[in-house]
Structure 1
Amino acid sequence: MTTFTDLRTALIARQKEWVADSGQEPDVGFRAIEFVGEVGELFNVIKKILREAGGWRGTRATPEDLADEFGDALICLYNLAEKMGVDLDAAAIAKFNRTSEKYGFPHRIMADEPPRCFACREPLQLGQMVIHDITEGLMHATCCGPERDAYVRLDDGSPLEDGEPIPTGHPWYPDTPETRIAYEDGRATTASAGRTGANGED
C-alpha cells in the first residue's frame, strides 16, 4: 500500500526533474500561493456540489472533481511544507498523538521503528511504563533501580524532595513529548521528575 511517505519521496524526485530546465527552484512564496490557489479550487468544487444539492441553477461538479482537488491541495501542501523544512508526515503523527494524549484518547500512530530502552536494549512497547533518564533517554521503569538517590528532577537535575515518592514512570506512546512525572495528593500527574541513570549509576 502506498503511504504518504511514498508520496513525499516521489514529489521530491519529480520536482527535481520538473525544474531541471530552468535550474531555479520555486520559493516559499510561490509554494504558498500555489497551495492557497488549490484550496480555492477545492472550495469552488464544494460550492458546485452544494449548489446541486440545493437544486439551484449553475455549473456542476462530480465526486471525481472533488477527489482531484483534494489531491491537488494535498500535493501542494506537501510541496510547501518541504520548502519550509517541515516533515509533514512526522508533524501530523506527532500532532495526532499529542491531541489523543491531551484529551485522554487511546489512539496513537506508531512510529516505524520504536525506540529502545537504553538499559536492556529491548524495543519500547505501546503503553509500557517508562522513565526518562536525563543523560541517556528513555528506559523501562522495571529497568530502574530502587535507590532513591538515583532519581532527580528533570527540570533542574535537583534531588527529589523529602517525602516525594520515587517516580513510577509514565505510559510510553510514540511521537509525543516526554511526559514528566510529579506527585500531587498521591496521584501521578504530568510535571517533572526523572532519574540519573540505570540501577542507580550516573
Structure 2
Amino acid sequence: MEDTLAFGRDVRQQAEALGRNPNEILILPGLSPIVGQTPEEAERKYQDIASLVSTHDALNYLGRYFNDIDFTQYELDEQFPELGSFARNGWESATDRLKQLARDEKLTLRQMAYRATTPKHAFIGTPTHIADTMQAWFEAGAADGFMLSGAMLPTGLTDFLDHVLPILKERGLFRTEYEADTLHGNLGLPIPENQYTAARKQAESPAEMAMTS
C-alpha cells in the first residue's frame, strides 16, 4: 500500500505540473484475488497456482530481473544466493525488493523463483480479509478503485463475486446500481473537451470579439 500511495502522489504531482486537475487522476490497481473460506484454503489455492509453472521457466523468469543470470549454476534448495550489487544498474528497485524478500523469509532459490513468477500479494485470504484490505487501501487513498484483472483460478471471479462483493456492498463501498451510462460518468469524471475543439474556440474568440466591438 505504501508503494501505491507514493506512486499516486507522484503521478498527481506530475499531472498538476502539466496543468491537469490532479483530482481527475484515478489510481486503479489491478487486483487478482485468491479467495478461500479459511486462510489455509487460500494458501493452498496460491500454492496450486504457483506450482503450475515449471522450475525451468521460473528460474528463467527470475533471471530476467538480474540481467538474465543463469540461476541453474546455484543449488535450488539452498538459501537464495548472495548477489551483492549485481544487476542493480537495471531493475534496481525490483532486485532490491526480491533480495530483501529472500532474506526476510529465508527463501531458497526454488521458492524465490516461484514467488517471482507468482507474486504473493495482500489480496489472498478469506472474503473478510480481502474486503478489509480493499477498504484499507481505499480509505488510505492508495486506490480510488480496483481493476479485477485476471482471477487466477477458474472459479476465482465467481469466488470474488459471491463472497467478497456482498461484504463491500454491505459496507457501502460498492454501488448497487450504476449512476451513468458511460465510463466517465461511472468513474465520476467530467468528459474532457476535445483538444482540437478547444484550440479552434481559442482561435475564433479574438475574431468574435473584433466583430462585436
TM-score when normalising by structure 2 = 0.23
- Could you say which structure has the larger radius of gyration? 1
More helix by percentage: 2
More strand by percentage: 1
